[in-house]
Chain A
């Protein structure tokens, strides 16, 4: 990214094999145009300036043909076939509304997409660019599934490679790797990929792969923020050593600081009044229809001081000191400020894990050595390398401007990468006043303690819902677009194309980023269901806790016998045992507790028969049967029970039962066979 003006040719594949993805690719292109239309420098308003980047939108794979190379070759040699199915939708210019309209009404074409010819046309557009000083870039968006024309001796490939390099053109390749397409057009794609590799060999380029069309919408950030230093000065260690002896200051070196991570603000909407008739038309004609804010002053305590307006010239400023209001004049501000000198000081070093992560405050900044001073660059590189080796971080004190407040920062070293300079990441640290030392009850409370089975369910959940790491990491912040911001620009784009367009009900990007997708994580759905069964909440939790208080999951049989021995109500005890069995079996991993469960079912049945409480057992059996049916991983438990021929309790065993023995038998055979 350069601070200079940039000329970009945006090459978009709309050929038949891209058709399913054209809408998403166009949305990504729209993001790019919006970004270019509002590219600005940061961070201070004083530095804010518009960069008039120019973009040419080039479509290839279109049904029609309309581009300068085609016209030229047609004129020169009378050859009709060259550079066909490429359309220059918009010539190099700062992108404006018509670009967005084109993209929002984009249709797939029926022509063959030849990315090499498209690149050649793009290069031709950039070569004709008048100012040689500006940066040049080609952005290519395609799935590379249409084979480029055969190229005897790779003439066009080498010509492109040389030409692009000679012109200093940067190639930004966005490849859509949708698995179905890749399988279907494997040969063509392989050929094309090799061609791309050959072109890029010596070229400055960037190649990015996207696994779905939707992922393309995260290709371009909503704003491109230029790297601007908001502190450019010295980083010093120590102050004066001994002036008398003639030794001057210890030393310092030049550094620059810029923002690294800062919340991109959702833009505020402009306002205009509808009181004047025809406001929309008036606004279109450039009439200022703004809505300024008016301000009137009233006493805070109107009961005490009356409801009259306080004239503005009477209003003065004051600071609050507890109950007191302390008025102050403008010239007293200096007294209130803590005088500081602008500068960055190294305080010392500490082990890299000494400061807990949650203490980092607000945003993050980057410190790099000033490129103007070679010694500073070396010092920064050496310091970063030393800190990495010693696993250390540094504490810095930084005052960005004179009289601004001093703050302490934690500096983490980041070594040089392929394109990045060695740098320190700065995270502000809290002061004593900024911390709340709240205390909370320990998690050791008996009634809160999760059972072994519950911990297992949680472990299964954590394992199955892994979002991966390394290259496979999902929701990586660096690749996850802000759904609200992107949706705003997308919807605005739709309204540029059609001012009456209603909002889309659902935004695909928002659903992709902000909703869970357990269906894509193997085993996650089952683990979630198991967790839901293992962790009863609300009423169920209260009931289970009451039962658990009597019958624990460690030794349910023992607890049950103890309850009976203590002379407790047999009905309650049986109920509690039934609940415990359900928790034990359905709250555990797989079939680990089936054996114990079956034994407990026997015990429960026996107990119910003895106490003449058949309904407890019969209800229990119904519940178990239903649950086993719902949960695949527990289906076997029902088989285990059937194998033991466990039936409902009928009249002949317990008098209170409503069931005839034949009915119990019938239920059993019906369910056992199912």
Chain B
């Protein structure tokens, strides 16, 4: 559900199944509940005021639960089919999904299921006092083993379609137990744990470790966790979902900073939406995988349910013959072009012919050539040269070499990527991402790998695929005299200078669209959550969402602002007003001149009276009046004047109560 082709722009009228069905994911949170986790969390990274608020005053345990809650909410919005569980280990009280079998020291806060209103409420209500009252903390090495056992048990006992599994472990304990008894003999416990890990590994489960340590403090993986991760690392090469990737420790251990971006970045497991061959020339083909990294998350369309039973129903549609009422088979339908309203006769074309015209059937990518994207040298002047701002028809796709499909792909891809980056070029290719798609042209932009300060990946290496428009897709409203007028008003130097001052004063140095929440989407789910829990939704004004799309700057200094802030606001206001004055813009919302229709002339009361409408209405001779005369009367009574003569007469009679 999360990553599928956005079909809206393709507009194909026949349906073919997608080759890449999105798979389901199961996430299990394993949260350590040992006494150390009950201490207040210290997450005061510098310059992280917003986030500080998020976790301030919470214990490590609560912070972990909060992360789980955020991910859960994210899942509800973006991948409602995925399942989640939250499991506390090192718990004094035990609780599991099945009453019969409890696992030592494991408290199942949220059973493995699709999250919904109930599970959200449960996590929202989770607090230290709840924990101390109902669960309690203890420290027992056996608990961790039980927790892995239970996780394994939960994942393997789920029915349903193919799913990938992920375990997220939150702990502060560097060494839960000794790996070796004496010398080099693995301890009994380690052997037990290994047994569970092996099953998890063989099932392709990913395990991610979130050490709960303050930013400055170190978390020593060496004595214990590194071995666990090392053991599990075999899984990716042994035929895990993503193939070519050899899991590295960097993909298994996440820093504290990830705790803050975790909602955004870890809610989605990487899922490819396609895998195609990229043909460079005769005898040289490499494989690439496609990923949809940007996709508008929309409010999903409403579902149909039976109002009586509350269960979901779906519509089965069939094409019906208009006369016999029979459902038609595919081969009983003729397809034609030039529908009514066209001046051409109907032209019959079979769906097979339509496919041939579209050129579908050949999945893959073919290199056509290269074009410069950068003008100027040394990368100092970055200006799109052959790729214009409006060369844009749909969201971009990310591609990454698929070494598993065709060995040698990565080397070739990297060599090209390297040269393209160095020379500032983009590749132009023909692409048909699936068999059913009409081939189109794309530009490939190389992207360099960049890292955050702590060494984790900020942008991955690879290429972005920008879908190019054709001539038929590009319009030129800015050249239409009807649209923009024939006269060009050249701005004076002082007016441009005023604009420049405005630009300098309204700078957004830290703008990052990736940190702006979509208020419409958030509001929708906020209301739904309340309704699902049987509560009255809160008013928008009381909602915590706010509108992050509004300007972040103030028009007047708030109370208690220091001199600097006051001066800043004043400078900004001066710039805004300066530009306004320079360009002669008025205070009031400008009135549109000469739009639509001219205002009607004021009604002449005498003329209206002279018509004698009332008398004529009584006599039933209103028809003798002209349309304009009828309208004049209607206008004098403040009624609408649209419609045919009969409608106007009916309206008059209605008004007079006749």
Contacts and interface: CB of A to CB of B under 8 A. Distances in A.
26 contacts: A218-B471, A267-B337, A268-B11, A270-B339, A314-B306, A316-B307, A318-B312, A321-B529, A348-B511, A362-B9, A369-B484, A375-B585, A379-B495, A379-B579, A383-B502, A389-B496, A435-B293, A438-B293, A439-B265, A439-B457, A440-B457, A459-B419, A473-B371, A516-B281, A521-B369, A528-B280
B174 to A, nearest CB: 25
A250 B511 contact: no
Interface string B310-330: 111111111111111011100
Contact of B477 (A260, A432, A450): A260
Contacts of B357: 484, 487-488, 491, 503, 507
Contacts of A458: 412, 415-416, 418-419
Given A97-B345, A467-B370, A482-B471, A378 B511 contact: no
B294 A2 contact: no
A364 to B, nearest CB: 4
Contacts of B346: 270, 283-284
Contacts of B20: none
Nearest to A38: B342
Contacts of B408: 535-538, 540-542, 544-545
A179 interface: no
Interface in A503-524: 503, 507, 510, 513-518, 521
Nearest to B525: A321
Interface stretch (A9-17, A190-198, A251-259): A251-259
A425 B268 contact: no
B412 to A, nearest CB: 4
Contacts of B528: 319, 321, 326, 336
A243 B68 CA distance: 46
B418 A362 contact: no
Most buried by B among A433, A435, A487: A433
Given A263-B469, A433-B517, A339 B540 contact: yes
Contact of B333 (A273, A276, A325): A273
Nearest to A425: B389
Contacts of A276: 321, 323-324
B498 A382 contact: yes
Contact of A437 (B264, B353, B483): B264
A269 B460 CA distance: 42
Given A316-B304, A420-B476, 9 more contacts: A4-B482, A97-B344, A266-B12, A360-B389, A435-B514, A441-B248, A461-B416, A475-B368, A488-B357
Contacts of A326: 528, 531-532
B560 to A, nearest CB: 18
Interface in B562-583: 573, 576-577, 579-580, 582-583
B183 interface: no
Contacts of B335: 269-271
B384 interface: yes
A335 B418 CA distance: 52
Interface stretch (A181-189, A220-228, A572-580, A620-628): A220-228
Interface stretch (A63-71, A149-157, A231-239): A231-239
Given A372-B594, A383-B499, A474-B369, A270 B337 contact: yes
Contacts of B56: none
B471 A251 contact: no
Contact of A315 (B306, B327, B531): B306
A203 to B, nearest CB: 16
A322 B76 contact: yes
Interface string A265-300: 111111111111001100110001111111111111
Given A294-B319, A298-B316, A386-B503, A373 B590 contact: yes
B593 A373 contact: yes
B34 to A, nearest CB: 30
A328 B301 CA distance: 13
A484 B333 contact: no
B606 interface: no
Contacts of B299: 319, 336
A159 interface: no
B347 A496 contact: yes
B96 interface: no
Contacts of B327: 294
B306 A299 contact: yes
Interface stretch (A18-26, A139-147, A401-409, A632-640): A401-409
Contact of B516 (A1, A228, A267, A432): A432
A74 interface: no
B551 A514 contact: no
B416 A234 contact: no
Contacts of B116: 321-324
Given A261-B392, A392-B503, A492-B349, A297 B313 contact: yes
B369 A431 contact: no
Given A251-B587, A421-B485, A275 B321 contact: yes
B295 interface: yes
B309 interface: yes
Given A260-B474, A379-B579, A397-B549, A317 B303 contact: yes
A322 B470 contact: no
A250 B456 CA distance: 44
A248 interface: yes
Interface in B599-650: none
A332 to B, nearest CB: 8
B136 to A, nearest CB: 29
B332 A377 contact: no
A368 B484 contact: yes
Interface in B400-431: 400, 403, 406-412, 414-420, 422-423, 425, 428, 430
Interface stretch (B140-148, B157-165, B188-196, B282-290): B282-290
B217 interface: no
B462 interface: yes
Interface string B39-62: 000000000000000000000000
B576 A259 contact: no
Given A267-B337, A438-B291, A408 B516 contact: yes
A345 B19 CA distance: 42
B472 A482 contact: yes
A109 interface: no
A27 to B, nearest CB: 15
B555 interface: yes
A457 B415 contact: yes
Given A252-B589, A298-B314, A358-B396, A227 B477 contact: yes
Interface string A347-375: 11110111111111111101011111111
A274 B333 contact: yes
B76 A436 contact: no
Contacts of B579: 237, 379, 382-383
B301 to A, nearest CB: 9
Nearest to B84: A322
Contacts of B551: 238, 345-348, 397
B321 A261 contact: no
A507 B358 CA distance: 10
A439 B270 contact: yes
Contacts of A148: none
A208 to B, nearest CB: 12
A271 B324 CA distance: 16
B473 A263 contact: yes
B154 to A, nearest CB: 16
Contact of B449 (A296, A338, A443): A443
Contacts of A45: none
B390 A310 contact: no
Given A291-B321, A443-B414, A536-B408, A433 B472 contact: no
A462 interface: yes
B205 interface: no
B156 interface: no
Nearest to B456: A439
Interface string B374-397: 000000001111111111111110
Nearest to B309: A305
